[in-house]
Structure 1
Amino acid sequence: MTTWTGQGRTVFTASGTGITYTSGQSVVLPGPAYLSAATRFGLAANPALTVYAVFRHPALTELDSRVWQLGDDGGNSLAGGVGDTTNYSWRYDGGNRQMGPATVANQWRVIIFHRAADATYGEGNIRLSGTPLTENSVGNPTGVPTNVADLLTLGGYVVGLDAQEQLEFAEFGVLNANDTALHERIEGYTSWKWGTPV
């Protein structure tokens, strides 16, 4: 697989080997492989943001693996990750906010990373299949994103972080908004479409 076109007609380019498209249902990104698109959908550096993914993963052993990133690896980007047995995190170059508990391996879930406009890194939040997660630890919580590079990445290794683990995506979306009613609608929709628990 060399390219993948999302329903919003965003064209992603594949990097790495072993990426597969399973019967029109999901994209499997093994190891350090990733998809990238030259866009940030016109979003500012520090926008109101809801990013959701319907995905699953095997048992995780690394501290942090990237699910998505908005901006390049030049620093102060926005990203969401998964890690080992306890953590999901708002991940960015220079720190993170780790939250838990994590999901069960090999089960489809919807994860929602969300933040208000002009928020600090420590103010980002995560919902996992209808449940708000709680903070386990935080690094550089007062920093703010400044990276405006036109780059959206799914999966793949982040510079300075641990080795990437396999992720499988059924659906992914980026919305310039942040409110509980929106998150609940996403969870209801993905539960209806994909059977993810709420």
Structure 2
Amino acid sequence: MKPPEWFLLDKSESVCKLGCMSKENFNGTPMMIEISISNDGIVQLSVAGKLIDLSQFYISSKLVFSVNSINALFRCLKIVSVCQGYHDKNKEQPFTFFNDKYMKEVCIVQKDAEPKVVIRHINCYKVVPIGSVSHTCKRCIKCKSRRNERMKQKQLGKKENENPLPGCNQFNDIRSVLSNIAPNLTENQHTLLCSQIMASNLKKIVMV
């Protein structure tokens, strides 16, 4: 007997298709979980149209028909959990990098639960590994490392702006003095003289 949350989608001489809606919904729409059982016992599971590898949940794709085997199949399907996307809890520096790979959605896990904004990969695996604490598939969780990389790049760029390369301050100081002493020099002449003075100072330091 099928559990009450499962309903008949299609039935023919060769295959029977059953479906149920996920408890999670994204932007107000739950995912369709579909299972098909052929008359020769081949079992296929799909979530939101994506075919799922049953072996990762230790579920056989070949069914021997009996009352117990059908019941056992639906019990095993309870361990299959839908990916809820990556919930970025960093409100001070939220994930802002979006392109053709990532999208932002509003996820509600259960009825009356507080909605949360999540980031999902367009090629989300749809399901998570057994025992997953984050409820996020390996593909969607990558946006976390992507965000961290961009944060590091921004911090590095900020430090570089705060701490210019050695010699920049000296070059600007010499240029300022030359501009006051010889205001009629061209831009190229200023640059050439500054470079020569800095090279001369560096040579003295090396000799010492």
Query: Which TM class, normalised by the smaller chain length?
Result: under 0.3
Greater strand share, 1 or 2?
Answer: 1
* Larger Rg, first or second structure (1 or 2): 2
TM-score (norm 2): 0.21
Relative contact order, CA 8 A, sep 6+: which one is greater? 1
